[in-house]
Amino acid sequence: MADGNATIDMDAFWMPFTPNRRFKAQPRLVARAEGMYYYTGDGRKILDGTSGLWCVNAGHGRKKIVEAIQKQAAEMDYAPSFNLGHPLSFEIATRVAELTPPGLDRIFFTNSGSESVDTALKIALAYHRAKGNGAKTRLIGRERGYHGVGFGGISVGGIVKNRMHFGTLLTGVDHLPHTHDIERNAFTKGQPEHGAELADALERIIGLHDASTIAAVIVEPMAGSTGVLVPPKGYLERLRAICEKHEIVLIFDEVITGFGRVGKAFAAEYFGVTPDIITMAKGLSNASVPMGAVAVSRKIHDSMMENADSPIELFHGYTYSAHPLACAAALATLDIYRDEGLFERAAQMAPYWEEAVHSLKGARHVIDIRNIGLVAGIELEPRPGAPTQRALEVFERSFDRGLMVRVTGDIIAMSPPLIIEKAEIDQAVELLGQILAEVD
């Protein structure tokens, strides 16, 4: 086994989103992490080109976060949030609300992006019911959307393999078309020029089902897990206008784009479009302790408070909502973002990142490159009869040569920690170019 792992028994762990048989035949393990790097058991450095899994935005092993977790574990390891509270839960809610768009300042805590999505969908449904519009139950997602792996998330999501194995899923769900258009938008830097009109498909769906039946529309401002699909200019603005016109809740899934990934606290701020609900996770705690959250507009929150038919306004929650260790980690994380100006730094580094990744245009097999903020998607031509295999080989060779990238289909995605330096960008892009030249 690779990296001296021959003594590790790997049979029991059923790994997520992984070809288990392939991995366990030739495992690639990391043993520790610090700053911009993972380290294997035998000491090899692996440049983290993906922030772990889109989530370690401040880099690895941050002392301030470690110490906050240690201190909180010693002081109080757990407290429930049902009919009880602890100070950190209210403090972190206030801190998150300072970063979300004005008016989206009521925060519900979860433990993951999947839970955040299901929470947001339930809030949208409960809101319409509280207003006396109980017929508004239909949910609209988008093709090639990823909203986690709960039944709500895969129902509104648009990734075929995530949906096809699990039955009929939620009923009353429809999907917008995706915005990916290589023919017109290939190698665009930033937002594509073409595709805003695709938002008008929402009007067609409304015409089919009637607005009186539609509760919510959920989209990722930038679709990350399906290969960095950047919204066309004007697209999000059209969605916002249509939802406003028909009293449909607009949900932005910002699990990936939140906390500096595009150079602002949230993509809603970057694009200048304010939804009714924002989901988040990943960068909230720098992935040190699992944590997610849902930011809800006062309009929705206050309506549910005022129209509740029982003392409990929302029959929903989790054992680990606002877990003390997660709250401590998140507070320390937000301190780092603020004190080091990491959101601003990401915005400053974005132009250099853009030019670097687009230098791969013309590289072997590359048919498109997309970028926004500190994110890039490099789409490869599939091998005939073997989709995904070329990109998977690039991933494996990259890791073996000292670079971690993300593979989704035939797309290489990169989203490094916001602390990355220009020399490390150069290193990552140069190595990736070498590997692309070698892979058949």
Q: 241 and 174 in one domain?
A: yes
Q: Assess whether pLDDT exceeds 50 at residue 164.
A: yes
Whole-number Å distance between alpha carbons of 117 and 111? 11
Shared domain check, 280 and 400: no
CATH classification at residue 169: 3.40.640.10
Domain that holds residue 215: 66-339
pLDDT score recorded for residue 250: 99
Q: How many domains does one find in the chain? A: 2
Q: What is the CATH number of the domain that holds 419?
A: 3.90.1150.10
Shared domain for 357 and 408, answered yes or no, is: yes
Stretch 46-66: mean pLDDT, rounded? 98
The overall average pLDDT reported for the chain is 97
Shared domain for 86 and 229, answered yes or no, is yes
- Residue 7's pLDDT band, with cuts at 50, 70 and 90, is confident
Q: Same domain, yes or no, for 16 and 105?
A: no
- Same domain for 281 and 369, yes or no, is no
Q: Please check whether residues 44 and 78 belong to one and the same domain.
A: no
Final residue in a domain of this structure, among 339, 362, 394: 339
pLDDT per position as a tens digit, 109-139:
999 999 999 999 999 999 999 999 999 999 9
Burial of 148 (0-12, 13-18, 19+ CB in 10 A): buried
Q: What's the pLDDT tens digit per position in 404-416?
A: 999 999 999 999 9
Confidence of residue 1 (pLDDT cuts 50, 70, 90): very low
In terms of domains, do 126 and 240 share one?
yes
CB 18 within 8 A of CB 373: no
Calculate what percentage of the chain has a pLDDT beyond 70.
Answer: 99
As a whole number, mean pLDDT of residues 212-230 equals 97
Instruction: Give the residue-averaged pLDDT of 58-84.
Output: 98
Residue 107 reports pLDDT greater than 70: yes
> For residues 77 and 137, what is the distance between their CA atoms, to the nearest angstrom?
39
pLDDT at 5: 57
**DSSP secondary structure string, 354-383?**
HHHHHTTTTSTTEEEEEEETTEEEEEEPPB
In this prediction, residue 294 carries a pLDDT of: 99
Entry pTM: 0.97
Give the domain-ending residue among 308, 339, 370: 339
Q: What is the pLDDT of residues 317-366, one digit of tens each?
A: 999 999 999 999 999 999 999 999 999 999 999 999 999 999 999 999 99
Residue 51 and residue 174 in one domain = no
Domain boundary among 324, 339, 354: 339
Question: Are residue 96 and residue 54 in the same domain, yes or no?
Answer: no
Can you tell me whether residue 3 is helix, strand or coil? helix
Are residues 106 and 47 part of one domain? Answer: no
Residues 306 and 431 placed together within one structural domain of the fold: no
The Cβ of residue 355 has, within 10 Å, a number of other Cβ atoms equal to 13
Q: Which residues of 413-435 are buried (b: 16+ CB within 10 A; e: fewer)?
A: bbbbbbbbeeebbebbbebbbeb
